[in-house]
Chains A and B, each alone.
Chain A
Amino acid sequence: MNISIFRTAMFACITLIACSPTESKLEAFGKASDAAVSLVAIPAQLSGSTLSDAEVNRNHCRYVRGNKYELAATPSQKPSKLVLQQANVAKALSAYSKALAGALSSEEEKALREAGAGLAGELGTTATTLGASPKVPEILNLLTSAILRIDANRRLADIKAEMDTVLPYLIVLETRLREDAKTVDAEMERRILDWERQARCVLSVSHRNDPTTRALFLEFDETKRKLEADRRKASKAADGVAKLIEAHFVVLGDKGTLEEGLDILNGFIGQIEAIKDA
């Protein structure tokens, strides 16, 4: 199998030590996968925040029009079940990516190898004290590292087995997100419209020339922009998951080590930021 160019780039990166230290790679992975996940979680957040904002503004309008003060009601509408289910998937996806990054941690692999070498050293000391050949410590060291390498390979196989189990579900998730995109977008559009209606009401009952009205106007303006931007980002959720799927395929097809697995994931998941900003 040939993913040579990518691998070459990775090796160059490792040999030149031009890349960031491992722990920050883990951090980068965490951030990037959160970026993918946040795309999936946007509709639920947007729905929730616009619903309560709209209710507060509706209540404010009612008050300014001469009604008695009352605490704003809890919104009678809720984000749809679909949007809430997507938010749950987002949460699980985030926890899974973090666990995956932790399992691939090369810092912990290194600590394990060092612990093995330390034990081999002590065993070697015993052997030479008891009169064994001076070759024995060296052999013990080789043996321990060989055992630990087998152990690391088994661990990588276990991690890949988990990724293999998850992969078909990610593929179904991508399909579902694409199929449901229109429905979810329509819900966000409705929520934004309703939010805007209440915001306009608040503006209309305010004195147009009052400086505080200008502040209010700008605030609504900014929120509206952000809501529309979030709505556009949310439409890319399926593309973000598609990148995660590709990363899984590459790691599953690769014959490299645990450390390289993390590098490959990072390389792909870094592209999610680009999707977000596109």
Chain B
Amino acid sequence: MAKISAAKKTIINAFNMLLNIRDQTSGLTAAQKSDISTALSALKLEYVALSGVDPNATYSEITHALTTAKTNLESIRKQRNQLKNTLTSVQKIWGSMNAVIGLIT
């Protein structure tokens, strides 16, 4: 597992470097541009292979993966809001306790 995520990281880094060259370098020749685009495509396919996703995944499988990720992202957001609400209500309770402590000390 560790090896796979390290390999993925390498691909991500290489991909971003190529993107940077493609988008930030002026005066690239057509041949250079096409080389970069070929390399980017190869890296993408490699990423699919490393992820263990079927390169022939169907539209329904893609839809399913997107929907699952959507649900998980929504719950990440929900947890953040719950944490915020908890902090706010603890703050309120503590505030009223402070008033009492102020009276008895």
Known contacts: A167-B47, A249-B12. The answer to whether A129 contacts B70 by CB under 8 A is no
Contact with B59, one of A116, A122, A165, A176 (Cβ below 8 angstroms): A176
For A245, list chain B residues within 8 Å (CB). Answer: 44
For A82, list chain B residues within 8 Å (CB). Answer: 59
For B94, list chain A residues within 8 Å (CB). Answer: 119, 122-123, 126
Residue of A nearest to B65 (CB): A169
For A125, list chain B residues within 8 Å (CB). Answer: 98
**Closest CB-CB distance, B3 to chain A, in whole Å?**
16
**Closest CB-CB distance, A241 to chain B, in whole Å?**
10
**Closest CB-CB distance, A194 to chain B, in whole Å?**
25
Query: A122 vs B60: C-alpha distance in the bound complex, in angstroms?
Result: 52
Does the CB pair A102–B13 fall under 8 Å? no
For A130, list chain B residues within 8 Å (CB). Answer: 101, 105
Does the CB pair A253–B77 fall under 8 Å? no
**Closest CB-CB distance, B17 to chain A, in whole Å?**
7
A206 on interface, CB distance cutoff 8 Å: no
Does the CB pair A175–B73 fall under 8 Å? no
Query: A245 vs B11: C-alpha distance in the bound complex, in angstroms?
Result: 13
Contact with B84, one of A86, A99, A108, A246 (Cβ below 8 angstroms): A108
Known contacts: A115-B84, A171-B47, A250-B19. The answer to whether A103 contacts B59 by CB under 8 A is no
**Closest CB-CB distance, B81 to chain A, in whole Å?**
7
For B88, list chain A residues within 8 Å (CB). Answer: 115, 118-119
Contact with B70, one of A6, A95, A105 (Cβ below 8 angstroms): A95
Tell me which of A116, A119, A159 has the highest count of chain B C-beta atoms within 10 A of its own C-beta: A119
Interface size of B as a range: 35 or more
**Closest CB-CB distance, A158 to chain B, in whole Å?**
5
A3 on interface, CB distance cutoff 8 Å: yes
B30 on interface, CB distance cutoff 8 Å: no
Within 8 A of B (CB), among A165-198: 165-169, 171-176
A151 on interface, CB distance cutoff 8 Å: yes
Does the CB pair B17–A1 fall under 8 Å? yes
Residue of A nearest to B60 (CB): A85
Does the CB pair B67–A116 fall under 8 Å? no
Known contacts: A88-B59, A123-B94, A172-B57. The answer to whether A253 contacts B16 by CB under 8 A is yes
Pick 13 A–B contacts, CB within 8 A, sort by A: A5-B20, A5-B24, A6-B20, A95-B70, A111-B84, A115-B88, A116-B87, A119-B88, A122-B94, A172-B57, A176-B62, A249-B16, A250-B19
Known: A165-B69, A168-B47, A168-B51. 13 other contacts (CB 8 A): A2-B17, A85-B60, A96-B73, A99-B70, A99-B77, A112-B84, A112-B87, A116-B87, A119-B94, A122-B94, A166-B69, A168-B48, A249-B19
